[in-house]
Amino acid sequence: AFEKMPVNITVNGKAHKLSIEPRVTLLDLLREQLHLTGTKKGCDYGQCGACTVHVDGQRVNSCLTLAMTVDGKKVTTIEGLAKGDELHPMQEAFIKHDGFQCGYCTPGQIMSAVACIREGHADSETEIREYMSGNICRCGAYPNIVNAIQEVKNGGQQV
Residue 63 interacts with ligand FES (CB under 6 A)?
yes
Stretch in the footprint of ligand FES (CB under 6 A) among 10-18, 103-111, 121-129, 148-156? 103-111
Best CA proximity match to 63, nearest among 97, 104, 28, 32: 28
Contacts with ligand FES: how many residues (CB under 6 A)?
23
The residues with which 19 forms a beta bridge, in sequence order, are 6
Residue 94 interacts with ligand FES (CB under 6 A)?
no
Supply the minimum distance, in Å, between the C-beta of residue 136 and ligand FES: 7
- Compute the distance between CA of residue 62 and CA of residue 84 in angstroms, rounded to an integer: 24
Stretch in the footprint of ligand FES (CB under 6 A) among 12-20, 44-52, 70-78, 79-87? 44-52
Q: Which residue from 29, 36, 48, 111 is in contact with ligand FES, where contact means CB under 6 A?
A: 48
The answer to whether 75 and 26 have CB atoms below 8 angstroms apart is yes
Residues 105-124, mask of contacts with ligand FES (x by CB under 6 A): xx------------------
Residue 50 interacts with ligand FES (CB under 6 A)?
yes
Q: Which residue from 58, 125, 138, 143 is in contact with ligand FES, where contact means CB under 6 A?
A: 138
Given the rule CB under 6 A, which residues bind ligand FES? Answer: 41-44, 46-51, 61, 63, 100-106, 137-139, 141
